[in-house]
Amino acid sequence: MKPRPLAAAVTTIALVAAGLTVNTGTAVAHGKGYSALIQRASYGVPHITARDFASLGYGVGYAQAEDNVCLIAEQMVTVNAQRSRWFGADTRNVSSDLFHQKAIDTQAAERWLVGPRDGVRSPSNEVRDQIRGFVAGYNAYLKTEKTTDPACKGKDWVRQITEMDMWRANWARMVRASSGALADGIVAAAPPGGTATKASAPQAEVVVKAADGAPAGVGSNAYGLGRDATASGAGMLLANPHFPWDGGERFYRMHLKVPGRYDVEGAALVGDPIVEIGHNGRVAWSHTVSTARRFVWHRLALVPGDPTSYLYDGQPRKMTSRTVTVQTPAGPVSRTFYDTHFGPVVVVPGSFDWTAQAAYAITDVNAANNRALDGWLAMGRAKSVGELRSVLDRRQFLPWVNVIAADRDGRALYADHSVVPRVTDALAAACIPAPFQPLYASSGQAVLDGSRSSCELGRDRDAAVPGILGPANLPLLIRKDYVTNSNDSYWLANPARPLEGYPRIIGNERTERSLRTRLGLHQVRQRLAGTDGLPGKRFTTGRLWDVTFGNRAYGGELVRDDLVKLCEAQPSATASDGTTVDLTAACAALRGWDLKVDLGSRGAHLFTEFVLAGGLRFADQFDPAAPLTTPNRLAVDDPRVRTALADAVRKLAGIPLDARLGDVQTEPRGAERVPIHGGRHEAGVFNMIIGVFEPGVGYPKIRHGSSFVMAVELGRHGPSGRQILTYSQSANPNSPWYADQTRLYSGKGWDTIKFTQKQLRADPNLVTYRVGERRR
């Protein structure tokens, strides 16, 4: 039967405009329809209550469409291989379309839905209901024709979506650090003498950097604080993911509740129906991008005279070829893909070439990861760190992230229980050919001998599925004091208990840590020792917030004084282009810098550009016995240090070297330029912000960095604390929630945790409405 909208379904914007608050009680789900209660709190954050998961999904789909319909619509264009049709047939769009059309033709998402609906072998009925409800809610919003976002208002590419669209989008999320990161190389793969498309394969260095867990630039910080680290003795969590400020990988804040079954506040990526970082009444968790690999290479020994056949245990096997066609404004574009029983053939010019003798295929262990939505649903129901660990062990669903968590009883957990190919030390020693052993040792990229069945990934007895490392082979730590991660490996989640002895494919051990990792650990240790300049010892949520946005530049703390001495002793230097540069103003700016990246910090941008130019070079070596303090001395005798400073001065021509950071680093919101604090990972800044440089101007647009930030305490009377979404809830410039949290972030402000009805009803801006539809 045709769905009929409920008469009570209205938009928040209309309610706000009318100055109305409609209190309608708990949502009632119809047996053959949907109904959800949406309570919009300050900053437009929806608190959605429904009787079942289908209606909950409906509320999420409706609310997200109200705020970000264009972002979701564009995701659907992408996963349906139609970017060239709607956004232009440039090389990037054609390559994306061919990659996604192949996934459609091979029914990659459809195959996810086959099997027992236990949440491991196939998505559960609850998750399927959420997807179905999300689709219905999103489509119901489109029917209101109230879209005001100029990015897609009235555009033909905005359409009703299907459940399969959602599953395709979820599949794309899972493979973003594996097949997705190598999509251009999969599209470009052709046998010697074959015809390639305009799609260009990635260079080797791009593969090495981008496949460390997620595309380059995506990262995060997280603290899990146990009873020995907090003033109250309750567990506490810092969530600080670093993600893009624009596009479909923005976070969206929401609180979802099915009474008696699910109650979680936090955030998810736009277009996802369930909270991915957040807390319930007893447990809080966050994610950081893991260093583990998500795919392995297989070197194929090709049959002489037939570059599309390979030898396996001495017998020839024919590759499978499939021609895929996509539509563009200039006409159809076709491409033939090649697959092996391992997975697709990939080319990386100069490193993984397809020659007459050899080719390379990958096994993507996330391509079959249909467990993630059920996994996050189960995480939201965990009542302790111990229960959370059981969820991780049984489901093994995290695609490319670590988990950091804390519970009400004051226990903190770190785990890299992500989906990792089963490359044990024994398999690596026996099956990675000698020329590729250095690559594995340095980067964790495994190139296995594809000619032997003994070099297949196999199965760990405790693994959820074949081909991945089981829980016993994955790092995990539970503490009463703290755990942290800032995108280095698991090794120093807590320096008092280093995690060692795990397969190299997960990460490195006893190696130099990033300055951001070191600062993150120093901040915790100094807070517990009471030496950070803040009152008292241990953490409250307020102190946790202050530490997070303390905006220290650890690289500057280490080398600024020596750099200034060097600069003043030799106040001119030769830039890399041979130009002689006067450093007098640079010396003065650095001397006056407060070693922070606050809005009022003068000269911070100069130090940032010095670092990016390659100037942060150390004279001493890393010492694994002192990993938090080495290296630490500027290499003042290295001429590249002064060259980098000269290059930084030249790059900043037209911009005062002693300018306030808030005057040169901003985020546009309409005609307004919102000053933005924070800085680069490379400079050792914890609160990572990366702006787009414009000569003579500075950084007038933020590309990515701190996004959803949450400091939550799991107290006896319920969760409390602070949270913010730095770029605000909506990407729509006509939304009232387009800039409010961005201004709030600029002033280091916050919104409060609103988990209980008491907390929610205390919000003076609360607006309540119901959405739903029933069938005749």
Q: Which helix (H) or strand (E) holds 324?
A: strand 320-328
Q: At 417, phi and psi to the nearest 5?
A: -105, 40
Cα distance between residue 731 and residue 736, in whole Å:
10
Six-digit token pair at 645?
């400073």
Under 8 Å between Cβ of 568 and 560: no
Neighbours of 263 (CB within 10 A): 18
Q: Of 214, 113, 132, 688, whose CA–CA distance to 418 is shortest?
A: 214
**Counting beta carbons within 10 angstroms of the beta carbon of residue 495, is it exposed (0 to 12), middle (13 to 18) or buried (19 or more)?**
middle
- 52: helix, coil or strand? coil
Residues 6+ apart with CB under 8 A from 232: 540, 713, 715
Cα distance between residue 36 and residue 770, in whole Å:
6
Q: Determine the residue type at 282.
A: R
- 437: helix, coil or strand? helix
Six-digit token pair at 228?
């020995």
Under 8 Å between Cβ of 480 and 227: yes
Neighbours of 393 (CB within 10 A): 18
Cα distance between residue 295 and residue 149, in whole Å:
38
- DSSP string for residues in 134-190: HHHHHHHHHHHT----TTTTT-TT-----HHHHHHHHHHHHTTTTTTTTHHHHHH--
Q: Of 283, 479, 238, 484, whose CA–CA distance to 385 is shortest?
A: 283
Q: What sign does the CA torsion over 595, 600, 602, 608 have?
A: positive
Neighbours of 198 (CB within 10 A): 14
Residues marked as catalytic: 220
Q: Which helix (H) or strand (E) holds 269?
A: strand 262-269
Mutual orientation of helices 554-569 and 515-529 as an angle, nearest 10°? 110
Q: What is the CA radius of gyration of the chain?
A: 26
> Which parts of 418-512 fold into alpha helices (H)?
425-431, 437-443
- 271: helix, coil or strand? coil
Cα distance between residue 686 and residue 549, in whole Å:
8
Q: What sign does the CA torsion over 733, 738, 740, 743 have?
A: negative
Six-digit token pair at 460?
């760990």
- 97: helix, coil or strand? helix
DSSP 8-state class, residue 200: -
Cα separations (Å) of 479 from 229, 505, 560, 765? 10, 25, 36, 39
> Which parts of 570-689 fold into alpha helices (H)?
584-592, 604-612, 639-651, 661-664
Six-digit token pair at 191?
């046998």
Kindly report whether the peptide bond that precedes residue 631 is cis, defined as omega within 30 degrees of 0: yes
- The half-sphere exposure of 300 on its side-chain side, counting CA atoms within 13 A, is 35
Query: Most distant CA pair in the chain: distance in Å?
Result: 84
Which residues is 398 bridged to in the sheet?
418
- 195: helix, coil or strand? coil
